[in-house]
Structure formats: C-alpha cells, structure tokens
Structure 1
Amino acid sequence: MLREMRINIRSKIAIGYLLIICCLGVSIVVVTERIASLQEEIGTLTSRDIEIHNLIASIRYHAISMESSQRGYLITGSDADLVPYTDGKAKWEAGYNSLSQLISQQPGMKNELEEIKLTIEKWIDEVGDPAIELRKRNDSAGMIRFFTEESGRTSLDALKERFGSLTNRQIESTRLHILGLDNRNRLLTVSLYVMLAVVAAVAFLIVSFVSGSIVNTIKRVVKTIAEIASAGGDLTARIEVRTKDEIKDLADATNQLLASLETENWIKTKVAEVATMNQGITELNALAEAFLAKVAPIVDAAHGLFYIREGSGSGQRLVRIASYASDSDASGRSGFRMGEGLIGQCAQDKRPFLLNKLPEHDVKIVSGLARVTPQSLLVFPIEFEGKVEAVVEFASVTSFSTQHLKLLEQIEDHFGVALNNVAGRMEVERLLSESRQLTEELQAQTEELQTQSEELQLQQEEMRITSEHLAEQKKFAERKTRELESAQKELEAYSEELRKSSQYKSNFLANMSHELRTPLNSILILSQLLSENENGTLSEEEAGYAAIIHTSGNDLLALIDDILDLSKVEAGKITLTIDEVNVSEIPEQMKLRFDSVANSKGLAFDCRVIDGVPPLLHTDGQRLQQILTNLLSNAFKFTERGSVALTVRSADPHKVQEALPLHASGDVLEIAVTDTGIGIPEQKQELIFEAFRQVDGNTNRQYGGTGLGLSICREFAKLLGGTIELTSRVGEGSTFTLYVPSISGEQAERLASAYEEAAAAVMMPETPHVAADRPQTEGADKDDRLFKGKRVLLVEDDDRNVYALVRALEQKAIEVKVAGNGKECLRIMKEEPGFDLVLMDVMMPVMDGLETMGVIRRDPALKDTPIIALTAKAMKSDREKCLEAGASDYISKPLNMEQLFSLMRVWLTKQVGH
C-alpha cells in the first residue's frame, strides 16, 4: 500500500523532521518528569528534616523548661515559676506524637524516641511532681533531702544524652538521603546523555533514510544517463525509478524524450537504408521488387504490390510491376485507370489511404501452414516534382502504426527521385540502343553504296539506276541524321534531368545538415551554459558531464563539416583562394595550436624551418593549414610517448621531378610531420587514405575517429597541386610528408577545372558561414551595461533552440520575446514596437525568415531595426540571400554564443550611437 502512495521529496523531508521532533519531545517529557520528581523529593526531604529537628528541639526545650521551672518553684514557691512546668508538661507529648509519626519508617530513631518518652515520664513521676508536692506542703525536710540526693540530675543527664543520640541519628539519616539523591541525580544525568545519544542516533537514522531515498534515486538516474551517454547514444535504454516523487516525474519525462528520439532515429536510419538500397539498380522491375522487399518487413507488412504509372493524358494507367509475398494473380489486379479504386484514387488525389479492421474478403496471406486474412490496408503514392510516378499497397495482419506512416512519408519523396532516375537511365539505354542500331544500318548502307559504285563503273545503266537509288539512300541517311540529332537532344534533356536530380541530392544533403544542426544547436548552447555553471547549482561532476556533452557536440559538428568537405572535394566544388603564405609563420601557428596537447600528453613537440626555404609560398593558406592540422592531430592521437616534430624545408629537385613533374621548375615545399607513435603496417599504408577507413577495428576502438581526416588531406593536397607520401614502421612511428608547390591564380583555376571534370557533377553545401571575429567590448561590466534591459525578438520555430537561446540571452539580463513564425513576428512588432534587435531563423513554417525580413524592411517604422539571420541550412550563397532579403548580419547554426554576442554588441552599439 505504501509503495503505491506518492510521497514527494518535500513530504519525505517534513516526515523526517516530524519524527525527529517527536523523539526530542518524548525525551524532554521524560527528563522533565524525572527532574520534577527529584525536586519534589528534595523539597520533601528538606521540609521533613527541618520539621524533625524542630520537634526534637521542641521536646528537649519543654523537658529542660519543666526542670528549670520545677527548680525555680521549689526555691521561690511562686506559682508564676510553675507555669513553664505546667505548659511543658502539656506540650512535650504533642511534639512527641508528631515526631513519632514522622520517624515511623525509621526503627532506630523510633526506639530512641520511646526511650526519651519513658525517661521524661519517669522524671515527671519520680522527680517533678513529687518535688512540687513537697513544696506545696512546705515539707522543708523533704525538699532538703530531694536536693541532697540529686535524684533528678541522673534522669536529666540521660535525657540529654538520648536527645543527642536522636539528633545524630537524624543527621545520619539526612546524610544517607542526600547520598541517595546524589546517586539518583547522577543516574538522571547519565540517563539524559544516553537519551540524547539515542535521539541523535534515531535522528541520524531518519535523516539517513530520507536523504538516502532521495540521493540513491538521483544516483540511479545519473548512472542511467551516464550509461546512455557512455554507450555511444543507446536510445533504447530507460531510466528506472521506484520512488513516487518529483525524481520519478523527471525520469518519466526523460524516458518519453528518449522514446521520441529513438523513434526519430529509427525513421532516419530506415530512410537512409532505403535511400542506399537502389544503388546499382538499372531496371524499374528490380527497383520495385527491392523496394517492397526492403520496406515491407520494416512496416510489418505481410503482402505488398507496386504499381507504376504508364501512358499519358486520359490513357494513363497504373500497372503492377512487382509484388511481395504474392500468392497468384488473384491476390491483386494487374492495373487501374486514374481514379479507379483506391489505387487510382490515391494517384489522382496524391494522398495515402489507410483502412483498418477490414471485413472478410478473398485476398489471403498464404504460408505453408495457413491462409490469413489481412486486417489493415495502406495505399500511398510516390511522387516526383509534384507528379505521382507510382502507387504502393501494403497489407498487414496488424494495424499500421503512426511510426510506420511517418517513415513512409519520409521515404516517399526520396524514392520518387530514385524511381525517376532509374526510369531516365532506362530511357537513355533505349535511345542509345536505337542509336547503335541506326549506326550499324548506316554502315551497312555505306558498304552497299560502295559496292554499287563499283558496279556503276562497270555499267553506265546500272550507274544511273544506282545513282537514283543512292539519292534515295541519301534522303534516308539525312532522315536518320535528323533522328540522331533528335536523340542527341533527348540525351541533353536527360542530362538536364540528371543535373536536376543532383540538385535534389544537394538539397537533400542541405536539409539533412539542417536537421542535424538544429538539435545540435540547442545541445551546444545548453551544455555550454551548464558547464559554465554560473549559478553554482551543479556539482563539479555534473558540470563535467555538461562539458563532455558540449565537447561531444563540437566533435559531431566537426564530423558533419568533414563529411561536407569530403563531398565537396569529390564533387570538384572546392574554390581555391590563392594568397601569399608566410612560411616562417607556419611553425608558430602549429606551436600555438598544439603546445597544450603536447603538454597534456607529456610529449616533446618540435617545429622548425630549415635554412634556404623561400620566405613566401603562393597557395591556399586555409587548405594548407587544414592539412597540417589534420596530420598533427593524427600524430598526437596515435603517439603515447616520445615526440612529434614538424619540419619545413625546400623539396629535393629529384623528388619533385618524380612526384610533381609539372612543378619541377617552381618552388616546392617539403613539410614533414614525424611521430614516435604506433606506426602503420606496410600493407595498410594506402588503405588509411580512403574515406572512413583506419588501420583496423582495434585502432578505431582504442583511438576513436571516423577515418575522414587523411582522405581530406590527400584530396586537398591534390587540389593544391601537391601530394602526400608516407613512411612508417610498426611500433617505431610514422612520417607524413606533404609536397606543396607555389601556384599562381591561373594554375589554381586549371587545377579546380581538372577536379570538376574528374568529379561527379554534384552541388554540395558550402562550409557553414561563421561571422568574422569582431572586437570585443572592454570588460564584463561594459557587456552587462550594454545588454541589460535590451529588448530582443527571437523568431524561431524549434522549441529546443528557443529554450536554449532564451536561457542564454536572459543570463545577460536581456528581455526576450519569442515568435514561432514570420507572421507572428510581424504581429508582435506592430503590437509591441521598440525592439532593439531581432534574431531571425531562416527556415520556418507559414512565413520563412527571408520573406519576413523583406516585409520588415519595407515598413518605414521597422526598417532600421537590426536583424541577425540564423540558419542551419548552410548552402552556397546563403549569406548573400539573407543580406539581400534585409538581414543586417548572418550567423550559421550550431550557434557559437560568443560569436552571437559579439555580433549583438556591434549592432546594439550602433543602435546606441544612433
């Protein structure tokens, strides 16, 4: 029952405090009761002891008073002297009775008191009263005899001695009581300490239990998150929390996020699998069969049909060309007209149809043991450039899920391109086949004409006839030539289609880059904010986790850039910028970049330039620096001890003649990167320059990496007119030697042209634009004054980026307003004028950023508002498009917050200046 109850953290802490307070309350009550009892006992003992002493003194006083009064009366005979005797005789017995009751529990004192009573009574009977009677009778002789015998003196002495003994007994009894009280007081003190220790132990156990239930749960959550991160992004893992509190809510929300990410990752993976499936397929039937065989198991379909559109105009039909798990022709019609049945209607409406809980029908899913009736039917179109090219139908014994529908929506557009490409290739092959046939016929006819010409030389008549025949053949040849020209035009049209297809691939890569950069942007911003831990709310370990996430995000961004760089190189779309490179600065730049790496690994790092090197080198400095950075990164990665060295010298002319014969007469630098690392086997030395390849799997597992760096280095070296050579021995180290010539602008154009001719005609995204470094404003205080209170309108449709950017901007005391699209942005700017800056995302629904910026610039009241464009789709000339649309400046995602703040400083400062 308790396990099912929801007890939040605040309630757990409150219950713990309540239990501790109850324990303290019980302890205080017990101690108070014991102290009150002890005080009462002390008061009783004190009052009783005083009363006993008073009674003993009173009895003694009355006894002595009677003796003194009796003697005075015997001497004077005055009745006034006899009054104390009479009073003492009447009062001593009352004191005796009271004292007897007080000491009834003390037998020794009781016996002493009885002896005193007998002594007093004996003195009264034998001495006091007889002597008074003698005086009353004036018996002088009797009185003289009485005084002579001193008979009362002995009794009084004994009485005084017994009073002393009784007093001593009372004192001893009081002393014993005091000792007992001291013992009880010490016992109370010890009990108090023991009780405090018990209360402290109980409190510690309560606190340990409450805090342990909270901390252990948090540790389990952190451990699971760490396991997910360390497993390389295993999105199938889930956080298990047994408590019913806020931490369980956090775990459930995180599990939902992981499930969503797992679904998205699954869809992207399957889309990539289907996209790569059609490579090497040149026939529509084979492509359709492969598509059904690949997609049907993914969507849990047990039966499938593939219909292709044929014909034109009103004669268009959808003809079945492939099936999956088909029993016979009875399992599906061979064709449909446009608008006929669900197949035809799907093609006409360009929308999918989903039917669940189908009634009984003739179509069965057949296996060796059973015939099963499908329960769910899915029909969806495949489009290309807004035109339906094919329709696919799937049947399943279970219902199709939302995940399956989303996957098919993603596959639809990409597969339409592949379908069109295969159809285009088939048409080209048909035209080429016809062209070859026409050529063979023309050659045969030419040979025939030659034979006829020889015959004409023999016979004039035959020449005339042959000439006429030849004229006819000439006309036929001209007609064939025109047909060939027509075929050539068709080939050119197909080439244009291929160019468009390449453009679609370019757009696909750009969109994929956008899809990757958009979530990566929020990851980098939030992880940076967490790692900086300005509010001190995270522990050092948690801040370290955030720093690892930020570093991993940067690594992922570098991987994306590497893939795009490699694709651009292969496509021949790299533009060289030739400038003068100061050779003496190369070692200084590399030293500055890698000194910290060498120090952290305890490696020696030597950079030097050999005498005789030309001071300037004409080449693309950025590409040269990228090559050297990759080579040095690899050297440090695979070197655990020893050293790494960078040596720059003039290349040996013989080596230049052998490796770069075209540059034998010019300046060529030889830049060697030498390490004492693991080395590379000879049979693997050429393999490592291929994309995504390393020496072996162990290298990848131990040192990481994707295997793109050396491939990019080799391609960049070729682009610069140079080459890279490798010498290495396993266990001793490696030397990568870059030969790079000094080239002119014309040579750079020739090299780029040669690359374009050798590469596939693919337009790849440009390297994401990063705003140039701008001067930082002086001091954090100046930053705070500049940003504080500024009103910024953030126009962004992605909730993750909105959350990350709002948190980052609010840390600078900036007032942030959010708009989800361009229309909402325009509405807010009209209703709430006076924004100091607008951050505008480019790709948004409803109204994108380019259109929105154009509207703003046409509004006189808003045209001077600074706008910084944000985009993750870093296509070529993207920056120019943003600036033409009205952006004041431009920065690409994932955002570097320091660069964004730098841009904001510039434009906010300009606003202040105005």
Structure 2
Amino acid sequence: MKRLNFNIHAKIITGYLTILICLVLALLIVIDRMNDLQKEVDFVSQHDVEVHDLANQIQKNVLDMETGVRGYVITGDKEYLEPYNQATRSWLDNYNKLHSLLKESGNQQSALEDMKPLIINWITTFGEVVIQEKKAGNTAALEKHFKHYNGKKVTDQLRTQFASFLANERKMTNQRIDMLRQNNNNLKITLYAIILLVTAITVATAFFLSHSIVNTIRQVVQTIKNITDSKVDLTTRIEVKAKDETRELAEAMNNLLENLDKQSWVQKSVTEISLIYQGITDVNELSRVFLTKLAPMLEAVYGVVYLRKDQSGGEVFYVKSAGYALADDDRLPQSFRQGEGVIGQAAVDQRIFLIDHLPEEHFKVATGLGTSSPKSLIVAPILFDDRVEAVVEFAALEPFQSKHLTLLDQLQEKFGSAISSVRGRMEVERLLGESQILTEELQAQSEELQAQSEELQMQQDQLQTTNEFLAEQKQYAEQRALELKKAKDELEDYSRKLQQSSQYKSDFLANMSHELRTPLNSILILSQMLMETDGDMDIEEVRESAQVVHTAGGDLLRLIDDILDLSKIEAGKIEILTDEVNVTELPQVLKNMFNPVAAKKNLTFKVITAAGVPDVIETDGQRLQQILKNLLSNAFKFTEKGSVTVNIALAKPEQHMVETDETLLAISVRDTGIGIPHDKQQIIFDAFQQVDGTTNRQYGGTGLGLSICREFTHLLGGALTVESEPGEGSTFTLYIPSKREITEQPELLAIEEAAVSVSEPAEIEEEPVFIEEESSDEQIFKGKKVLLTEDDGRNVFALLSALEKKGIIVEVAENGKEAIDKLQAGGKYDLVFMDIMMPVMGGYEAMKVIREEMGMHQLPIIALTAKAMKGERDKCMEAGASDYIMKPLDINQLFSLMRVWLTEQVAAQ
C-alpha cells in the first residue's frame, strides 16, 4: 500500500520531537543523577537525624522510667509514675522504628538488639517489682530488693552502649557526606557534556527541517500570489508537486474555484436566457427561442418543448410546440396525456427525469455525414404557481453535468412565468380582437337597435358584460406587466449582488494570501537564521527561535485545516454528535482557554452562571465550545481595554428566538471593544464579508469566524443574535435548546453557505504543561509488553522513546503481516498499536485476521491513522480496533488511552 506522506505537520513534529527527546533524555539523565543525590541527601538529612533522635528518645525513655520509679519510691506520690508509664508505653515503639531504619546496617542493628533485653529485664525485675511492693507498703521487701538488685548498673550499661551506638552513626554520616561531594562533582561534568551534545543535535535538526519545509511552501505561496495578481480568474487552477499539506491546500482551493466557476456560469446563463423573453408575444416563438438558447448551453443535440393544453372536458394534454435539431418530425409523438410516457409522468410527479445509457435504437440524431445515438436524456417539467405549464426534453451524446441540472432547475420557475405572461398577452390580444369585431357589428346594427329596443337592451347588457370582462383582462394584463417589470428589477439586483459577491471573493483570496504569508515569513527568516548560525547563538536564543517557528507553523497548520473544512461543509460532511454536556464545567473550560489572553491584554474576563440553569444539556459539546471559542476570540481581538463577560442564563419568554418545547439556554458574550456599525451587523455573518475586508486592515483574520458560528448554531437547532454600538462594544447572544432533536443535516447548496464553516482560531499562547509521573503510572505501565506495528522509522523512534521511558517493553513490526507472525509465534502482548497505511499488509486487513481468524477478541488494539476523513473511526472499529487515535499523536492522549485499556485488561484478568 502507499506509504504515508512526510507532511509539514509531521516534519515540524519530528523536528520538535527530536529536539524534545534529546532534551528529555538529557533532563532524565540529569534528573536521575540529581534524584540519586537527593536520595542520598534525604537519607543523610532524614535517616541519620531520625536514627539519632530515636536513640536519644529511647535513652530518655529509660531515664524517665528510672527517675519515675525512684520518685515514686521516695515520695509515694503516684504522679511520679506518669513519666514511667508513658516511657514503658513508648520505648518499644521507638525501638521498633529505630530497628527498621537500621535494616541496611547489620552491625548497628545487632548493637540495638543487644540493648533490648537489658531494658526489658530492668522493667520486669526492677521497675514493676518496686512499684508493686511500694503500692503494697512492703518497706522491708523494697529495702531487700534495692540491696540485692542493682538497677543503676543496668542503666549505666545501657548508656555506654547508646554512646557507642551514636558514635558509630556519626562516623557513618561523615562517610556519606564525603560520597555526596564526589557525586556532585561528577554531576557537573555530566551536565556540561549533555549541553554540548543537545546544542549540536538542535542545530542539525533545524537545518534539515527548515530546508525540507521551505522548498515546498515557496511553490504554494508563488501560485497563490499569481492568482491574486490576476484578479481571480475562476478558470485558474493551482498546480503543486509537493506531497504534504500544501497539496491538500491546493486541491481544496481548486475545488473552491471550480464551484465558484460553476455558480458564476449558472447565474450568467440564467441572466442571458431571462433577457430573451422580452418582446415575445407568441408562446410557440417563445418555446423556439428558449430551445435555441438553452440547448447549446446544455451541450444537447436534441430538444423539444411540450406546452400544456386544457380540453373542454377537463382533460390535460401536453402538445409539442417547438423542437431543436429534430429529424423525422412526423414520427415523433405530437402530444401526451398526463401520466402518459415519461413526458406525462414528469408533469404528474413535477420532478426532473434523468436517463443515462440510452439504448442505440431509442432514436437517432442526424447530421450531414450520418446519424448518432444520444447517450443521455433529461425530461423536466416547467412550473408556475405549482402548475405544470410545459415539459421540456433534451438529449446529449455525453452525460449531462451537475451544472446543467442546476441551470435547468433554476430555469423551471422563470420559464414557466414567461409562458404564463405570454399566454396572458395572447389572451388579451384575442379578446381585444373580438371586442373590435363586436364594435363593428354594433355600428352596422345601430339602426336596427333603434327599432328593436328590447333587443338593443339585451345587447347592451351583453356589451356591458363583455366590457367588464375586458376591463378585468386589461387589469390582469397590467398586473402581468408589473410582474414582468418586477422580475426585470430582480434580475438587475441579482446582477449587482453577483458583482459584489465576486469582489468579496477577490478580497477573501487576497486576505488568505496575506494570512499564509505572515506565518511563512517567520518560518523562513528564523529557519534561515538557525541554518546559517555558526554556533554563536546560545541555547536560549535557539529555544526562542524554535518557539516562534513552532507557533508560526501551528498558525499555518490551523489555517490549512480551516480551508480543508470548506470542502467538508460544501459536501455536507459536518457530523453533529449529540451527547450530554455538563454546563457547570463550561465556565472553568472557558477560563482555562482565555485567562492567559485576558492577562496578556490586561482585560477583565468573567463567566457568570445565573440561577436555574440546568446542570446538563443534550447537544454537540464540541460544536458548542467551537462557537463560544470563536465568539470569545473575536471579543478579545477587538477589545483593547475594559472587559469581556460571558453570561449563562435561561432565555426569557420574549427572547425565544427558536421554536422549541425544550428549555432555551441564552449564552451571551459581551465586550467593551470597538463595536460594529448598524449597517454592518448583518453582513458580518455572510460568507467572504467583513466590516473591513482589505489586506491592510487593522485586525487580521479571514473573516469567516462568525459565519461558522451561524452555521453551527443552525445545525444545533439554535439562533445567534448581535447587539452593538460603535465605540461601546458588542453583545453576541447564542440561544440553544437544552435538548437537540436529531434530524438529517441539510445540504448546503451554495458556496456562500459552504465558506462560512471556517472558524478563525483564537490567538492564544498555550503554556506548556508538565505532568508529573505518578506512582500509579509506574504500576500500570512498568513491565507491560506492547507490539508496535508501524512502517515509518521516525514514528517508531518517537514512540519507542516515549513508551520505554514508562518502563514498557516494546517490540516492533514493520507491517501487518509481520505483526500477525509475531502473534502466531506465541508472543504474549498486553496491547497492540496498529498503523493503518502500511506496505505488504495494511492495518484494516491485519486487525480482521487477528480478530476473526486468530480469535484474539480480548487483546486491546489501538489504531493509529493520519486519514482525517469522515467515518474513519467507524471503519477502524468495524475492522476490529478497540480504540482509535489520529496522527499527529498527542502523547498525553495516547497514554490516557493506554491507561484505560491496560486497566480494563487487568480487571478482566
């Protein structure tokens, strides 16, 4: 199978991963050495001090027991027994703690064990006996006991042993401190060597990646510049030879230009055909002119028009009125009833019939050299006020294109209106002719009318009736004339809008070129500096330059992703996934995203949740966050001072902008920025339109953020409104139902609706997040065995470094066949990573073999793919994947998935 392209994103990620891995390895080495030193320091500062403290505490316990017994014997006061009782309770705990601390020092532990019998012996044979005899008042026994048992000798021996014990501990502490000094010197030498090595690797990586990225991007920039300079020729197409994201950018732009060209052709054709109707007063002539003009546009070699004719009995016929390039006209059917043949059925169903692959014997088109058989046939009804006025039929030697069908669809109503208007004028002329004949007859019969008064009265009544009818017909004719004038005015207005739309599209392409050049300029300059440096840049300068290159590359990648989304929206491939969204978490999510922006611009940022707001709603959480992110990005972009506030509340009854029975949530984003003029507050939601759309405008961006907000809001079943005053700020309010009904996504038929799906990313500087490795990770990952199936050596190297750092044992297979061989050979793995696009055997086929033929249904398999297409996840899951992650890989997300599946596997066992 085709190998994965080494795209810009992969190049940048690879470069940074290389540098990051070198830094991480260096840091790990240094940290490991520092940890060792810290452990030794901790051991000296904690272990030795604690040993001394516990030894002294045991000595104090023995002294408290001795003084307590003597004080009680001398005074008989039981308060003197309190130190004795406390010491007898605590000395053994202290002894056990000290004994456990000395487990690595056998001599000291043995010395401590020698003291334990002495303490126990003193307590049992002296302390307890003396206390009991004192309590009994047996003075003679006490004197005898003191005379024959020398408890002081035992305590003196204990003091001597404790002194020797502590002296040994101090000696061992001094030895450890000397070792710490030596290890500290070794750490300094290691650190200097690592700094030199990482610097060399960083410079080499920057040189290689900048050279590989710049050559490809220059071609795309020059192509876009040529399009801009030529004032957007819609027939122009971008050609690139690169195999990274620039090819996808070029293909997406070509698709956009192609659709714009199609829409322009359709509207131009509609305008041309609409102009031919003027001045025609005969419906047959109108049919002939219509066919003569439309057939070449449709690339048709045959055409015919059947006009509606109502019979006196109420039966409807469609009679042939005009033809185009007809041969053997007498053999063609002259009329059809409703429902008779495809012509009659099209009139009944009021829909277009498209028939491809016609049989050769269907009919022939004659030329001077012979005859040919059309391959494609289209039959379309012509409607006016839900009434089929005519049916047209066209045939072509090649299949009809989508633009032909679009043109014919838009002409149905207009041609029907023209037929009705011409018929109305013909009827008026007929009635006027009849009226003229009646007038002449009345003049000839004027003398008879004088003699025949009754007959005259009757004829006058008839004439009055006729005049009233003529007046009605005249009024109808005047109304039709007004309608024709209105239609002409609409065409002229549409032509003006078409020109304006073309200008907006030109501005959009110019802005897009500007937005591409801006990050590319940073990448080109800084990568050139890194490439040409001769070692005079220190590590901090290299890191800052790399950070700027990374940020610019990220901006370029987001812009490319936005343009690619145009094709998804146009094709109706945006998928809405309804799930439960926790509204209580929304304020913190927004604060995490935009607090850094607010702090950077010195703005006040607040998120306020009103009482009564439901904790959970059912909608697409990702699209909801994207709408709010776009609104907040605009708010911060156009606000230089003051505040940005988000209010989450229930919509009031008078605010219900959406017809729904569900609770309506109102989320408003208010800023104190520059505001929006009243005449611009609606066009900012349209495609290719901005308040200031020029390339030298104060605020950047492609101007599509609010358009995508509007489209996503419609898909979620909500509404979006704006209130603003110039100089005082703006308030955008999102109304969204608490429960979205799942409906079929409507197709977006026009490019203006398609383009608005692109969202402008907020200019947020993401702070790096360092996650401390937890002890639970070590329990989950350490010692686990993973099979990595990947044919790209760069990805293998990156994943090996990350996984082995966690203590994971990794085996590598270069394709699906090799992975299956390892499993069949009896290899036991806790988890499998499966790339999708590989030679010999791809990931889909390999997963099906593992699941279906080998029967390994419990083995976790995580699919790795760079194909960011709709349905890719479902395709991976159907092939047998347990889970799915898209390249470029987020290492934290990868470890999160591994925790889930490794934990489930342990639970299952």
Tell me if both proteins adopt one fold, taking TM over 0.5 as the criterion: no
**Rg larger in structure:** 1
TM-score by length of 2: 0.42
TM-score by length of 1: 0.42
